Amino acid sequence: MMKSLSRYPDAAAGIALVLLRLACASIAFLVIARLRFPQFSPNASVVVSVAFALTVAVGFGTRIVAFALAAAAIATAFMTGTDSALTMLARACGCAALGLLGPGAYSIDANVFGRRVIRLEPRGPDRASDA
């Protein structure tokens, strides 16, 4: 039996990751807009949220940006302290899930770093000493 492990899944799993990336991109506007940057201009949060949303949507640096969005959602949840804190924590979980799963085959990361399929074949008893 041949097992395969894909680093950048395609087909239904890849489309699901595209949808998760788009959901996290929309979260970027909600989360980062609530964070205040008093030392910068008032439009700094808009620029940062657009940059994060675009990078997540196209799948460039997905893991890093998704974890940053998760951290920003957690910070926003603790800063607001209202009923929306639970919603922000749920959004943080979605972004963290994207960070753990990766961008999928339909992303810039897959094109830059190469979509690879690793095939693991079982070793027979006579091939165990070859390793």
Tokens read off for 120: 């693991």
Which pLDDT value is given to residue 128? 57
Asked whether 80 and 30 are in contact (CB, 8 A), the reply is no
pTM of this structure: 0.72
pLDDT digits (tens, 9 = 90+) for 53-104: 888 888 888 889 999 999 988 888 888 777 778 888 888 998 898 888 888 7
What angle (nearest 5°) sits at the alpha carbon of residue 76, between those of residues 73 and 77?
85
